[in-house]
Amino acid sequence: MSIIYGKRIRLRAAEREDVKKFHEWVNDPEVTRGLALFLPMSFTDEENWFISLAKRDQKEKPLVIEVRKGKAWKMIGNCGVFDLDPVNSSSEVGIMIGEKSEWNKGYGSETMSLLARHCFETLNLNRVSLKVYTDNIRAVRAYEKAGFVLEGRLREAVYKFGKYDDVLIMSILRSEWTSQKKDN
């Protein structure tokens, strides 16, 4: 698979050198607030996770998000496809922008659009879904901008910061993606 280019961002394969940054991000409480990560992560944990990727299906390997800065590219986060179901042509997607200075610049929604395009036009899927905590308003907004629609609510499905929160399920279908493309 080659690098996936969008308007301002690109998605490339994760490299061993990226692990140091990933380790910083997964230990930042502001970044992990909306993620299913609860405990401090050691550098060895992160390295072992990276090593385990070698055995993962190519289609489900994480992708590094880079933004164009002049003539260079800056790594700001990662994203990926997981739980790919070939019988039902569906998968889940996820994203983490670890560079907090790059939040609220539209990169999250652009990444999710690009990932959806990848799922429909390269992986030939029909349905792409995600889960998001109700109080992660920034994420919900970013997903809506990328064309994902709310389809369900798992009540009190996550316990974080001393309270239960609902988990929202959002998705985009190939038919919606196609008509969205026509409108643009």
Ligand X SMILES: CC(C)(COP(=O)(O)OP(=O)(O)OC[C@H]1O[C@@H](n2cnc3c(N)ncnc32)[C@H](O)[C@@H]1OP(=O)(O)O)[C@@H](O)C(=O)NCCC(=O)NCCS
Which stretches of the chain bind ligand X, using CB under 6 A? 31, 34-35, 77, 95-97, 103-109, 132, 136-139, 141-142, 145
CA-to-CA distance for 172 and 117, rounded, in angstroms?
Answer: 11
User: Which residue number, 7 or 141, has a Cβ lying nearer to ligand X?
Assistant: 141
Strands 72-85 and 127-133: unpaired
Give the CB-nearest residue to ligand X. 108
Which lies closer to ligand X via its Cβ, residue 130 or residue 173? Answer: 130
Hey, what are 151's tokens?
A: 């389809």
User: What are the residues whose beta carbons fall under 8 Å from the beta carbon of 41, sequence distance 6 or more?
Assistant: 23, 26, 27
| Radius of gyration of the CA atoms of the chain, in A | 16
Coil, helix or strand at residue 124: coil
Least distance to ligand X, CB of residue 169, Å? 11
Structure tokens at 32: 């992990």
Query: Toward ligand X, which CB reaches closer, 136 or 180?
Result: 136
- Name the minimum Å distance from CB 87 to ligand X: 26
Q: Are 98 and 110 in contact (CB under 8 A)?
A: no
Q: Which is nearer to ligand X, 55 or 167 (CB)?
A: 167
Chain centroid to Cα 139, Å, comes to: 10
Q: How far is the CB of 99 from ligand X (least distance, A)?
A: 9
Q: How far apart are CA 154 and CA 69, in angstroms?
A: 39
For ligand X, the closer CB: 65 or 173: 65
